[in-house]
Amino acid sequence: MKFKTSSGIKSIVGKDLITDRYVAIFELVKNSYDAKATEVVVSFNTSDDSEEGIGSLDDGKIYIVDNGIGMSKEDLDNKWLKLAYSDKQEGSSEEDNSEDSFREVKNRVLVGSKGIGRFSSDSLGSVITIRTKVKYESIEHQLTVNWDDFDEDLKTLFEDVSVEYQENSSLSRIGVASYTIIEISKLRNSWDEEQLDGVTEKLRRLKNPFIKDDDLDIYCGINIFTLAKKYNPSTSHLISSNIAEVLKEKSISINASIKLLEDGNHKTTITLSDRGSLVYEVEKIDDSILSHVDNIEILVNYLTTSAKSTFTRRMGIQPVNYGNIFIYRNGFHVSPYGEEHYDIFGLNMRKTQGYNRHLATRELIGFISIKDSKNLFKETSSRNNGFIENGYFRALEKFYMDFIQRPLERYVQLINWGEVKETGKEVHLYDVEIKENEKEKFKKYITRSNFKIIDFNSELDFEKNKPIKIIERLEEVIRNPSPVKNTKKVEEQTKVLSKQFKELKKESIQKERLISKRTAETELLKAQNTNLINKRKDESYGEQITHHITLLAERLDDALNNLLSIKSRISHEDKHIFLTSIDDIMSTKLEMETLRKLLLGTSYDLKAGGVINWYEITDWYLDKGGRRTYYPNYEANSHLDLEPKLGNDKSIWLIDSSHLELVMMIENLYRNAYEHGATFIDFIFKDDAIQIVSNSRPIEETILDSIFDLGFSTKPNGTGVGLSQTKQFLEDVGLNISVFNRDGLVHFNIYKKD
């Protein structure tokens, strides 16, 4: 007996495995890289096969075009069409040493080996057509696969589904010795303008944008019919980034490398620079587990106010929206590391524990580049969930925190966080008076773990720009018998001194105002504290909050019911204003109730925004804060589950949002299930979605698309506000929500936008 492979295996290794449309495109670009291409074009063309490209992109095609070595008929038959076959070893170096080589590829590290990257096209479109040519042939091979054919009957064996092959004497590209053109049609998703722009932006980060790399040129936006006529694509479509120039000498940066020496040892070198000036350089022989990797380069920049402003002006995007610490393995971005809301090392959570000591992702931008020929850092099969967290990944995390993050934080704190908060004026290393004992402590700190100092800028005069020092230099110049030089030096020094005195005067005025304001605030707080102490007596502060917020919420509830009683008499023209007012009242009522629960039941800082853990908040709510405690007859069973493949990683859903609004959302979904007869409700956290499942009454199919509309309710006295508020909150934090009935259960699905 032998194993047999159902045709359904296609979906398992294709569209079901790689669900992110961008990742699917990246996998095809990586295949071009492994095919020794020096350029690859990603093109979106409309359904009208003409040079003008007139038509709808909804019915259009996606093209991936490269100038790689191409494939022969034998390659297509024995390699491309063989599931999970790859003649490549992921991470291995490869050079083209053949005599007929038409391009030189030096030490290119292969990035694919699983033999399933080609199946990623299934998540983009149902039909893929490959047109390819090798250098030593004058014909073009064409292969067409309809992925949907594999889904028609799962009893059919995978190898029994036919694909179309033909040979063409007419070539698709002129003047190119070898090439591969991948055409994906019958697209599975629509592509709007924002998503098309997203392709370009994500491709800009696919190869490391922080360093100059001419190994592979990536183009996006070229009309495929124009490309067929000439060899060289237009440079106007070349994806490039000037981020290195933008950050050069404008940020406080720390750089580290772990490299193999000629003597067989690995050396770790770390340097820190302050806007172009070297602060220190340390090194040591590295015998850690990371020395097994070929090479690791790390560059992290702390962005001062000026650097952020320059970045936004030059790059056309705010740093916080660009990303933070990207990871590149063998030259390609490992998703989702570095993306806008992804915090690989938990820096944002750490920031809340030491706000004035720690740096968060919004203040940092940089990269970790890993050359890994032994495939020690392993990516998950889905290619958008980062690394498998093995010993190498944990060693990298420890190295980053110990020798990159913490020293950078120490230095930034040493120079007063890079700027004077009261005036906004930037502070440089030269402007700060750092006592000798502080410098010695810092030197001792950076030499721990056997690091030795190669260079330390101990000659920097931290006091030279103080006014008293400038006056001393002026006196020296005036005593100098050279009148011509004197005049020029006096003018220069006087300008500096005048500017500093103006700044000092301005700072003095601002500090006086600040002191006056703080004094008034202190007096007010003293008075409030005295009143609280005098009035509290036998009742606790918490009991008073509970009592009064409850009363206020009940008043709002009475007012809301009165308004709802006249709902039917509101004219059509005034209905939107009426519903908006109901929305405000309902939101305020629920917010007050939620505030009471959070104040009395948690220690969360409700004033501070930032990244919060949705799993932990949901756990608290279902365990201690749920509405069932206020509905004694509600015998619902509530469960909180984590998708098994996530292990015990409860930090998968860290989102920049409000505690209040998140709990209000959970409250709305919980209450909605209760009011529609549910006896149980489950919250299931997955890596790409949150599912809320209950046995409440199924929703009529005809109204599924309307339940999130403001004012829509299936209850006689319903407000039609709760689910509308839920959808609005989710959209504000970049998420979507959908609802459907399945197997007699109601499913709400919260998922990330594409």
Burial of 75 (0-12, 13-18, 19+ CB in 10 A): middle
Asked whether the predicted pLDDT for residue 78 surpasses 80, the reply is: yes
At 496-548, the pLDDT tens digits run 556 556 655 655 665 666 677 667 666 666 665 665 555 444 445 455 555 55
Share of the chain above pLDDT 70, in %: 65
CA distance linking residue 292 with residue 470, whole number of Å: 53
- pLDDT (average), residues 662-678: 84
Phi/psi for 243 (5° steps) reads -60, -35
Phi/psi for 434 (5° steps) reads -110, 120
- Return the SS3 of 278: strand
CA distance linking residue 280 with residue 303, whole number of Å: 19
Before 698, cis peptide (omega within 30)?
no
Higher-confidence residue of 130 and 467: namely: 130
| pLDDT given for residue 480 in this prediction | 60
Describe the crossing of helices 722-732 and 575-601 by its angle, rounded to 10 degrees. 70
At 81-130, the pLDDT tens digits run 887 666 655 444 444 444 433 344 555 677 765 556 778 888 889 999 99
* Contact (Cβ atoms closer than 8 angstroms) between residue 343 and residue 361: yes
Helix H or strand E encompassing 656: strand 654-656
Judging by DSSP bridges, how do beta strands 364-371 and 325-329 pair with one another?
parallel
- Return the SS3 of 332: strand
| pLDDT given for residue 54 in this prediction | 42
Find, among 587, 594, 592, the residue nearest to 626 by Cα: 594
Asked whether the predicted pLDDT for residue 270 surpasses 70, the reply is: yes
Asked whether the predicted pLDDT for residue 153 surpasses 60, the reply is: yes
- 654: pLDDT confidence band, cut at 50, 70 and 90? confident
Residue 637: how many other CB atoms lie within 10 Å: 10
| pLDDT given for residue 459 in this prediction | 61
- pLDDT (average), residues 173-193: 87
Find, among 451, 489, 135, the residue nearest to 281 by Cα: 451
Find, among 381, 389, 387, 333, the residue nearest to 16 by Cα: 381
- Residue ranges of domains in the chain, CATH in brackets: 9-241 (3.30.565.10), 245-456 (no CATH), 468-529 (no CATH), 541-752 (3.30.565.10)
Buried-exposed string 44-55: b where 16+ CB fall within 10 A, e elsewhere: bbbbeeeeebee
Q: What is the pTM of this model?
A: 0.58
